[in-house]
Structure 1
């Protein structure tokens, strides 16, 4: 603008015209205040007067970048460099624009030029780390993040990105450490907190996240995602009352929150608060049915649903919806998996067992002795662990019993599937199904030619990507095939593998366990959420009709004990007749103690599985009720396999009468116990080697059908 134009403007406006310097200062204030649109307009006016000003060009380019005008950003910042503004932050900003434009190689060069000018420049190290992480160059990315932290040791965002890189590398402990540091610096960093909690759950260390959750919630008490994450952590720690309080907070904010309602119901069931649970059960089921009608996945988890009723049609619909949601979430990954070259075979079938429970867990107890019994002339065995390493004897036994043991606890979906494919797994056996920590996301990518559900989930996954489910003629008779998405495979005898555990040589006295010496001791050591009002009423009927008797139950929370005692008194049974068994660290001690019971009483909807097997191994007869779905028929299968089919009942009246008769007739009960002790030694139920041979026959038939190009089909294994 020349002198005449400035005089004209002054005369027209009555104000002195804005100089480029003044416009720049005004633009910079807008920019600093987070108003890049207003800043750009003023930078443009300033550039009209000083088109070659490198500072103006640079800042105008940064404002353009912040408005996602990448072409303008690259042009303006490039001109600033041409005009001699060769400072590290200019190269860094150019690199950001190049990266966002998809020009990764040029962006990397620009970041490195910034670092040549200023080797300790934290922003450039951090941004270069992000670029490298996106390119999958994780080790290099971690180095850049660590260099950035040397200059900026308290930058929460750098620690969060470092944690994501460690997580992607499959280093969960280091990732958790980085996330922990993130939330220590910035307690309201939601993504880092939830990532931290997820990793600690995988590592079996949920309690380490509690303090971080409390600090976040103190700052932002109404963040529903964080409150639900906190509830999940507390549940895993067994803190039922605290979990309920957190869920109440969520429901006070959003009464219709589907996951909170389901979680609240689950906690009520675990503390046996049946009156309130009944109201929520109706609410949860109605919401689930409405969700299914819309073709969506319900909030009610399939594993929880099978413990609430025995409607096989609903259970199939629920499971199918959950599995279909897994497929939808992994569709994009399916085509991205690289092909695997055909490996030279040695004639053996490669079995892959996938589970989060190779640890001190009921599934770990059952399978720990199986893998070493497989015939290595015909099979190669690989275990894939998706759960924490608890350092237990069960974990060590699984590891030593396999040809290879692969830890996939922190592996992403595609990486885990690719590893299984590269290992040449022919038959992949999933031991989780729709349970906690499952890896159905991996199975959905079909990493093995044949995929089989077994043991950990007593029912159908509803998944098209699963070919078979292993059961027997009792738990899943062929007439129930319509309730399964998978084809049924019947093993002879019982479907359940057992790895018999030694009993402690010293058994405690009854009085040490709170049991009267002269009373009939009924017991049920199932999880307390399996206890429900209908069967509990039958149990109390039995206690009333056998006056000198007690019911020995697994230890529960203080509120759970109080509720069960209250329910007993309401049904005319003194609360003192309920005895609670303290949790013991060693299973051999629990098994030895269990033998003090006279008779075990199975639950109704979701019966005892590992628990019932343990009682039979401890020499305690079990009365079971044959139900309508897999989870309610396992006790019957175990009893039939050990030659005690007379203890299987078909109605609540028969169940009640049999328990009372055996309790009153000590001679008949003694004869049942004698028969049980005889059959334990000769029954196939506790013969792991014999079981392994039958299981292998099933695998060979599956593989033969696949090799012949035939679709999966239901069949029964015939023992030689």
Structure 2
């Protein structure tokens, strides 16, 4: 014993074996030798010695306990639980045995039983940090993140110097969507363990959710400096780089992650889709067309390979968008088994509306919703904005706070906390403005906190059964497309895209020279972002330049690789790359609107149409030519044109699209008539009549509530048009 206790393990082993030569059934020597073999990591031998000892005397608590530890390390978890249970039958007051029993149960994925075992340990020893920490781990596996957080905080209160507890606490705060507090907790963990790349990686993830992309990138870089072969950090770094527009670096980082871990698709199933979408952002079409086909096939087959936003970019397919949404919701935000709203009936004098968005900031959605909120009839509706964005100040935030009756910053609250707030406020209609875009919190809606839940202003189906309705129009969602939507379509009479009638007017128009355009020649333009450009449409554009002498194509400026790739694609089609003009970035919307007057015709994209960009062009007086696609994201521009009174600019094939573009470019009189019509319609057409749009939207909400009160299940329906006078 003395040799063993003093660390002279070889000497102790010799002495134990000497005893056993003389007395093979000496339980003390058998048990101590088993313990020594466990220390030497001779686990099979240790287990054999404990088993012999326990056959001789099955009532040895220490032997049973240590045997359980060895069995657990041998991954014989059921046997370990049995050994711990036998030990507890003899020593029911041992918190250590209950704690280890909980560990074995957790490894068997019997997490609820593990929690009960940890509870017994804590009842015996309240200041037992290991039991609190392990209990937190089991609760986290049960997705009881709030309870897990409390356990980790108790562990930290008892033993504040353990970085793993601070890391676990930070992870739970992130799971609860309390990202600001999570970052603070990661910082405390880093202070205790500055060489831990996992903490830095997870900190980066929280910062990404706060839209602090540069800080997130720095965190990932620090993690990789500590561990260059860290595939998860490389993958996350790639996401951050992509968000920052550094697409070439993002691709390298994705590729590095995959090369380090070819099975990364198991941990990050969306990596292939992310890489394909990044190549599209670079207009690197040749490198991804074949990959896109495989991704689409796998997605439709039910594989989790593509996030929903990517499906709008990859294919003009309502079927693909449907399956992509379904797969993603099932993977990330399945419906809660314990809905927050339990069927209670509300009796409100006014319908209580709540809009949920991460984009109540300097973003197009904020301007669209501000106009609606200002026009809501407060005698019939009580309006609430639930802002997921970190609290910020600015002109648009001030406008929104004045427009809504209640503006609540909930970005630092978890999904369940926000859902409970919705229930406490007795919201009748909860409106999602995000779909699956950056900053979305579909998990709030998955809790079913409101009797009626609506998807509005999103580019496709959410794929979520807990969203009852989709605000649509008959162009973006024709009745034959109903099978591709989990939501029921609610048809507004004009268009389903809101537009703010208070948007700024165009500023001073620059000269062609100031805008970088040639002094003469027809100007085609497309100010869509680069990921919306695809080869089939680009083919048409290049044929237009070849057909229309001295014409140019005016595009938004991208990074150097995007510009270079587009110039190469033009050259490959026989077009001088100099005929592609890249507009410099302008900060003021008034100036951007003003320069659009220099263009002659806006060419829309497919499969992903211009949306707000198309509305901007029409507002500035620039006609938009579109081709009607096969999915919602490819049909929005047609909806806008119809509402602007310009259905003649909607084509139904790329051949018709090309022919009409040539005709308009060759017939200045006809194009002038269209521009004059647009100028005359702009202030009177439904597209920019925010009051009319709001009245139609309110009629939709009222019908939803009426059907709910009458016990009707959600169904497709149409809102009848109202007169302009009634809208006023």
TM-score in terms of structure 2 length: 0.81
Question: How far apart, CA to CA, are the structure 2 residues paired with 1:263 and 1:635?
Answer: 26
Alignment of 1:117-516 (within 5 A): 136=146, 144=154, 147=157, 152=161, 155-167=162-174, 171-182=178-189, 192-193=199-200, 195-217=202-224, 223-252=230-259, 253-254=261-262, 257=265, 259-289=270-300, 292=301, 296-325=302-331, 329-330=334-335, 333-335=336-338, 337=340, 339=342, 345-389=347-391, 391-409=393-411, 411-457=413-459, 459-499=460-500, 500-503=502-505, 505-516=507-518
Change (3 A) 1:441 1:653: same
Alignment of 1:674-713 (within 5 A): 674-713=676-715
Greater Cα shift, 298-307 or 617-626: 298-307
Question: How far apart, CA to CA, are the structure 2 residues paired with 1:12 and 1:700?
Answer: 88
Question: How far apart, CA to CA, are the structure 1 residues paired with 2:150 and 2:462?
Answer: 41
TM-score in terms of structure 1 length: 0.82
Alignment of 1:555-704 (within 5 A): 555-704=557-706
Q: Deviations over 1:123-178 (max 9, x none)?
A: 6886798799979568865764554565x2xx420221231354466532121232
SS at match of 1:238: coil
SS at match of 1:489: strand
Question: How far apart, CA to CA, are the structure 1 residues paired with 2:411 and 2:626?
Answer: 37
Change (3 A) 1:142 1:277: closer
Instruction: Return the match for 1:71 from 69, 85, 90.
Output: 85
SS at match of 2:575: coil
Q: Deviations over 1:58-100 (max 9, x none)?
A: 9789779984443355467667x8xxxxxxxxx6777676895
Per the TM alignment, residue 471 of structure 1 is displaced from its structure 2 partner at its CA by 1.5
Unaligned runs of 5+ in 2: 1-15, 74-79, 104-113, 723-728
Per the TM alignment, residue 612 of structure 1 is displaced from its structure 2 partner at its CA by 0.2
- Aligned residue pairs total 682
Kindly indicate whether the alpha-carbon contact (under 8 Å) linking 1:111 and 1:128 is maintained by their aligned counterparts in 2: no
Kindly indicate whether the alpha-carbon contact (under 8 Å) linking 1:505 and 1:592 is maintained by their aligned counterparts in 2: yes
Greater Cα shift, 48-57 or 530-539: 48-57
Kindly indicate whether the alpha-carbon contact (under 8 Å) linking 2:204 and 2:219 is maintained by their aligned counterparts in 1: no
Question: How far apart, CA to CA, are the structure 2 residues paired with 1:170 and 1:579?
Answer: 43
Q: What is the alpha-carbon root mean square deviation over aligned residues?
A: 4.0
Per the TM alignment, residue 414 of structure 1 is displaced from its structure 2 partner at its CA by 3.7
Question: How far apart, CA to CA, are the structure 1 residues paired with 2:29 and 2:212?
Answer: 58
Greater Cα shift, 400-409 or 600-609: 400-409
Change (3 A) 1:194 1:342: farther
Change (3 A) 1:637 1:191: same
Kindly indicate whether the alpha-carbon contact (under 8 Å) linking 1:446 and 1:465 is maintained by their aligned counterparts in 2: yes
Kindly indicate whether the alpha-carbon contact (under 8 Å) linking 1:605 and 1:631 is maintained by their aligned counterparts in 2: yes
Kindly indicate whether the alpha-carbon contact (under 8 Å) linking 1:108 and 1:128 is maintained by their aligned counterparts in 2: no
Change (3 A) 1:400 1:21: farther
Per the TM alignment, residue 532 of structure 1 is displaced from its structure 2 partner at its CA by 0.8
Per the TM alignment, residue 641 of structure 1 is displaced from its structure 2 partner at its CA by 1.2
**Partner residue, 2:12:** none
Kindly indicate whether the alpha-carbon contact (under 8 Å) linking 2:122 and 2:132 is maintained by their aligned counterparts in 1: no
Per the TM alignment, residue 337 of structure 1 is displaced from its structure 2 partner at its CA by 4.5
Question: How far apart, CA to CA, are the structure 2 residues paired with 1:475 and 1:336?
Answer: 31
Change (3 A) 1:359 1:19: same
**Partner residue, 1:84:** none
Change (3 A) 1:285 1:187: farther
Per the TM alignment, residue 479 of structure 1 is displaced from its structure 2 partner at its CA by 3.9
Question: How far apart, CA to CA, are the structure 1 residues paired with 2:96 and 2:657?
Answer: 76
Question: How far apart, CA to CA, are the structure 2 residues paired with 1:170 and 1:313?
Answer: 32
Question: How far apart, CA to CA, are the structure 2 residues paired with 1:46 and 1:477?
Answer: 77
**Partner residue, 1:539:** 541
Greater Cα shift, 362-371 or 62-71: 62-71
Q: Deviations over 1:454-493 (max 9, x none)?
A: 2122x33344333222222222233433443332222122
Q: Deviations over 1:527-567 (max 9, x none)?
A: 11111111112112222233333222112121111000111
1:526 aligns with 2:528: yes
Per the TM alignment, residue 607 of structure 1 is displaced from its structure 2 partner at its CA by 0.9
Change (3 A) 1:111 1:391: farther
**Partner residue, 1:4:** none
